[in-house]
């Protein structure tokens, strides 16, 4: 029975589709290409020698969902499809609530109507807001999100918890990702941001390849070991494998379970620059600028629950992440645009 992967052409979705195919699963992808191209799927097919069943369309399209469910006998869904720009969400909040929350409601309604009960949802460490107790556990306080993107993720988490209570057949896994980075070691698939990247690793990569002149380091007066922000960077292939582990996990504890997917280690912006320079043999020019609004000093996971229950933990370190990010960037300076 194939797995439906919404948003499967995007950054994390494409790496997960690759992992699923390599593990022998059949995969159906639904993507509207608002932030991706078909090229990622084409490359996955050539890497694995396997076929991906593909539908171009929107998660909120009920008729399309019904057709996909009927044609493919789907029983499990991984729901990556969503918009993820923090800054855009501040300017266009309704776009985020419509795309991330309303489309998720349509998907859940159609799942239940079509007797599909297994769902894995992409959430984010952003739901912890300004974290009080580091490292973050799943039971740490959530809320205090500072932008509509983060709030949309928290809203869907609440909705899923309520649906699970009202519908005992549901089997829901909420995965809170920390900071995904890197790419598949082939350098054929990776992160392809639209325009100037907002996130650190794609920005450094574009400086390294000469597309951007220098990195602005947001703040160097944080209470961290070198004054710059500390995050839990996780290799995107570790993250992908976390989804496979969640899919294989047969749960009894609860029919809606939440897991942190992180490494449990925090690295600063300066640590990242140094690791990237080591791996790429380049020099990353940077300057210290003001803190970015909404940023927190430090944020990293306690990943014990995923290790205990999903039997999963991240195995790739910072150097491997930076090596693979650089390999992807070098081989694809313009991303998937050919
Ligand atoms: P991405 O933008 O690369 O991938 C998302 C994919 O979903 C894209 O291919 C896009 O075209 C598609 N999509 C968006 N809305 C859709 C809709 N309504 N119908 C069909 N397709 C739609 O992003 P990503 O980094 O791969 O993130 C995947 C998920 O993980 C998102 O939900 C994101 O919020 C979440 N997440 C990402 C990060 C991160 O740092 N990348 C961190 C935490 C959580
Ligand atoms: C950001 C989002 C978060 C989202 C996550 C993954 C904000 C406030 N948070 O997290 O909601 O879930 O991306 O998409 O945008 N940095 C620089 N210079 C840069 C870029 C980043 O110094 O040009 C620093 C930041 O201050 C931070 C670290 O690098 O300390 C990581 O930043 P980033 O990659 O944007 O991720 P987050 O801020 O953790």
**Please, are residues 131 and 299 in contact by the beta-carbon 8 Å criterion?**
yes
User: How does pLDDT run across 246-284, given as a tens digit for each residue?
Assistant: 999 987 789 999 999 999 999 999 999 999 999 999 999
Top pLDDT among 291 and 337 is at 291
Q: Look at ligand 1, atom 19, and give the residue with the nearest C-alpha.
A: 58
Between CA 87 and CA 214 the distance in angstroms is: 21
- Is residue 13 in contact with ligand 1, taking CB distance under 6 Å? yes
pLDDT at 103 over 90: yes
User: Helix (H) and strand (E) counts for the chain?
Assistant: 12, 14
Between CA 79 and CA 57 the distance in angstroms is: 14
Mean predicted confidence (pLDDT) in 188-210: 95
Mean predicted confidence (pLDDT) in 112-120: 98
- Distances in Å between the Cα of 90 and the Cα atoms of 54, 84, 85, 151, 191 are 32, 11, 9, 11, 23
Pocket test for ligand 2, best of 85, 124, 151, 198 (most atoms within 8 A of CB): 198
With respect to residue 251, please indicate whether it lies within any of the assigned structural domains: yes
pLDDT of residue 1: 84
- Distances in Å between the Cα of 193 and the Cα atoms of 77, 94, 188, 329, 337 are 25, 22, 15, 11, 11
Mean predicted confidence (pLDDT) in 4-18: 98
Q: Look at ligand 1, atom 35, and give the residue with the nearest C-alpha.
A: 122
Between CA 18 and CA 29 the distance in angstroms is: 12
* Closest ligand 2 atom number to CA of residue 291: 26
* 3-state SS class at 156: helix
User: How does pLDDT run across 279-325, given as a tens digit for each residue?
Assistant: 999 999 999 999 998 899 999 999 999 999 999 999 999 999 999 99
pLDDT at 57 over 70: yes
**Please, are residues 217 and 228 in contact by the beta-carbon 8 Å criterion?**
yes
- Is residue 277 in contact with ligand 2, taking CB distance under 6 Å? no
H/E element, 14: helix 11-22
Q: Look at ligand 1, atom 43, and give the residue with the nearest C-alpha.
A: 124
- Is residue 59 in contact with ligand 1, taking CB distance under 6 Å? yes
- Is residue 65 in contact with ligand 2, taking CB distance under 6 Å? no
- Distances in Å between the Cα of 264 and the Cα atoms of 179, 182, 214, 233, 311 are 11, 17, 29, 9, 15
Q: What is this structure's pTM?
A: 0.98
Pocket test for ligand 1, best of 12, 95, 176 (most atoms within 8 A of CB): 12
Determine what percent of the chain is predicted with pLDDT higher than 70: 100
Pocket test for ligand 1, best of 35, 179, 181 (most atoms within 8 A of CB): 35
With respect to residue 298, please indicate whether it lies within any of the assigned structural domains: no
- Is residue 35 in contact with ligand 2, taking CB distance under 6 Å? no
- Is residue 224 in contact with ligand 2, taking CB distance under 6 Å? no
Domain count, the chain: 1
Instruction: Spot the catalytic one: 96, 128, 149, 233.
Output: 149
**Please, are residues 338 and 39 in contact by the beta-carbon 8 Å criterion?**
yes
Q: Look at ligand 2, atom 27, and give the residue with the nearest C-alpha.
A: 229
Mean predicted confidence (pLDDT) in 33-62: 97
Q: Six-digit token pair at 299?
A: 């944020």
- Distances in Å between the Cα of 131 and the Cα atoms of 43, 135, 144, 267, 296 are 38, 9, 9, 16, 8
Q: Look at ligand 1, atom 28, and give the residue with the nearest C-alpha.
A: 80
- β-strands 53-56, 27-31 pairing: parallel
With respect to residue 146, please indicate whether it lies within any of the assigned structural domains: yes
User: How does pLDDT run across 17-45, given as a tens digit for each residue?
Assistant: 999 999 999 999 999 999 999 999 999 99
- Is residue 84 in contact with ligand 1, taking CB distance under 6 Å? yes
- Is residue 218 in contact with ligand 2, taking CB distance under 6 Å? yes
Nearest-CA neighbor of 16 among 79, 84, 97?
79
For tokens 């629950």, name the residue. 305
- CATH number, domain with residue 65: 3.40.50.720
With respect to residue 311, please indicate whether it lies within any of the assigned structural domains: no
* Closest ligand 2 atom number to CA of residue 179: 6
With respect to residue 83, please indicate whether it lies within any of the assigned structural domains: yes
pLDDT at 157 over 80: yes
Q: Does 11 qualify as catalytic in the annotation?
A: no
Full residue range of the structural domain in which residue 257 is found: 3-181+234-262
With respect to residue 279, please indicate whether it lies within any of the assigned structural domains: no
**Residue 195 pLDDT class (50, 70, 90 cuts):** confident
CA 39 to ligand 2 centroid distance, Å: 27
Mean predicted confidence (pLDDT) in 123-128: 97
**Please, are residues 28 and 72 in contact by the beta-carbon 8 Å criterion?**
yes
Sign of CA dihedral 141, 240, 309, 166: positive
Nearest-CA neighbor of 181 among 201, 155, 203?
201
Query: Per residue in 134-152, is it b (16+ CB within 10 Å) or e — as a string?
Result: bbbebebebeebbbbbbbb
Between CA 239 and CA 11 the distance in angstroms is: 11
**Residue 338 pLDDT class (50, 70, 90 cuts):** low
With respect to residue 91, please indicate whether it lies within any of the assigned structural domains: yes
Q: Look at ligand 1, atom 9, and give the residue with the nearest C-alpha.
A: 10
With respect to residue 114, please indicate whether it lies within any of the assigned structural domains: yes
pLDDT at 231 over 70: yes
């Amino acid at each position: 029975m194939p797995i439906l992967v919404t948003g499967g052409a995007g950054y994390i979705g494409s790496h997960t589709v690759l992992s699923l195919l390599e593990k022998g699963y059949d995969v159906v992808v639904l993507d509207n290409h608002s932030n991706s191209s078909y090229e990622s799927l084409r490359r996955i097919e050539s890497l694995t020698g396997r076929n991906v069943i593909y539908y171009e369309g929107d998660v909120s399209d009920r008729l399309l969902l019904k057709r996909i469910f009927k044609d493919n006998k789907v029983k499990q869904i991984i729901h990556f499809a969503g918009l993820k720009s923090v800054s855009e969400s501040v300017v266009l909040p309704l776009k985020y609530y419509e795309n991330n929350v309303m489309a998720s409601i349509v998907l859940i309604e159609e799942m239940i109507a079509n007797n599909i009960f297994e769902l894995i949802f992409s959430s984010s460490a952003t739901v912890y807001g300004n974290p009080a107790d580091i490292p973050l556990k799943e039971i740490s306080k959530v809320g205090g999100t500072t932008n509509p993107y983060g709030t949309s993720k928290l809203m869907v988490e609440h909705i899923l918890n309520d649906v699970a209570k009202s519908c005992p057949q549901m089997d829901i896994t909420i995965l809170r990702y920390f900071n995904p980075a890197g790419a598949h070691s082939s350098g054929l698939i990776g992160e392809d941001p639209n325009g100037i990247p907002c996130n650190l690793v794609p920005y450094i990569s574009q400086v390294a390849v000469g597309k951007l002149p220098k990195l602005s380091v947001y703040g160097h007066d944080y209470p961290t070991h070198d004054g710059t922000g500390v995050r839990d960077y996780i290799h995107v292939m570790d993250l992908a494998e976390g989804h496979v582990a969640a899919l294989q996990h047969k749960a009894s504890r609860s029919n809606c379970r939440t897991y942190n997917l992180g490494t449990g280690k925090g690295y600063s912006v300066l640590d990242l620059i140094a690791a990237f320079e080591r791996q790429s043999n380049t020099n990353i020019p940077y300057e210290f600028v003001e803190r970015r609004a909404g940023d927190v000093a430090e944020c990293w996971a306690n990943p014990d629950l995923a290790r205990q229950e999903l039997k999963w933990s991240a195995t790739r370190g910072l150097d491997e992440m930076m090596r693979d990010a650089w390999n992807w960037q070098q081989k694809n300076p313009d991303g998937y645009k050919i």
